[in-house]
Amino acid sequence: MENFVMPGEKVATEEEFVAGSNTFVEEGVIYSSVIGNAVKENGAVSVSAAGREIKIIDKNMLVLGTVTDDVKSVIFVKIGDINIDRKDYLALKDGKIIMDRPRPGRFGGSREGGRGDNRFHSERPVKPCAVGDTILARVLYNDKDSYTLSLNGNETGVIYAKCDECGSDMLSENNSLVCSECGHREQRKISSLYNKPEDIKKLFV
Ligand SMILES: [Zn+2]
* Single-letter amino acid, residue 193: L
CA of 170 to the centre of ligand 1 (A): 7
Q: How does pLDDT run across 126-168, given as a tens digit for each residue?
A: 789 999 999 999 999 999 899 999 999 999 999 999 999 999 9
88 and 183 in a single domain? The answer is: yes
Which range marks the domain in which residue 67 is found?
62-99+126-198
137 and 172 in a single domain? The answer is: yes
CA of 168 to the centre of ligand 1 (A): 5
Structural domain contains residue 110: no
20 and 92 in a single domain? The answer is: no
23 and 42 in a single domain? The answer is: yes
CA of 187 to the centre of ligand 1 (A): 14
Please report the pLDDT score of residue 110 as a whole number: 41
6 and 75 in a single domain? The answer is: no
CA of 51 to the centre of ligand 1 (A): 45
CA of 117 to the centre of ligand 1 (A): 36
Q: How many residues does the chain have?
A: 205
* Single-letter amino acid, residue 3: N
**DSSP per-residue string spanning 126-191:** PPS--TT-EEEEEEEEE-SSEEEEE--SSS-EEEE-B-TTT-PBEEEETTEEEETTT--EE---B-
Buried b / exposed e across 86-104, counting CB within 10 Å, b at 16+? eebbbbeebbbbeeeeeee
94 and 177 in a single domain? The answer is: yes
Residue 164 to residue 71: CA distance in whole angstroms: 18
Structural domain contains residue 205: no
Picking from 81-85, 102-106, 186-190, which range would have the lowest pLDDT averaged per residue? Answer: 102-106
CATH number where 41 lies: 2.40.50.100
Please report the pLDDT score of residue 111 as a whole number: 44
Helix (H, G, I), strand (E, B) or coil at 109: helix
189 and 169 in a single domain? The answer is: yes
Please report the pLDDT score of residue 102 as a whole number: 56
* Single-letter amino acid, residue 131: V
Structural domain contains residue 95: yes
Q: How does pLDDT run across 16-61, given as a tens digit for each residue?
A: 999 998 899 999 999 988 777 899 999 999 988 766 777 888 999 9
| Confidence band for 182, pLDDT divided at 50, 70 and 90 | very high
18 and 93 in a single domain? The answer is: no
CA of 76 to the centre of ligand 1 (A): 24
174 and 95 in a single domain? The answer is: yes
Q: Say how many domains are in the chain.
A: 2
Burial of 146 (0-12, 13-18, 19+ CB in 10 A): middle
CA of 66 to the centre of ligand 1 (A): 20
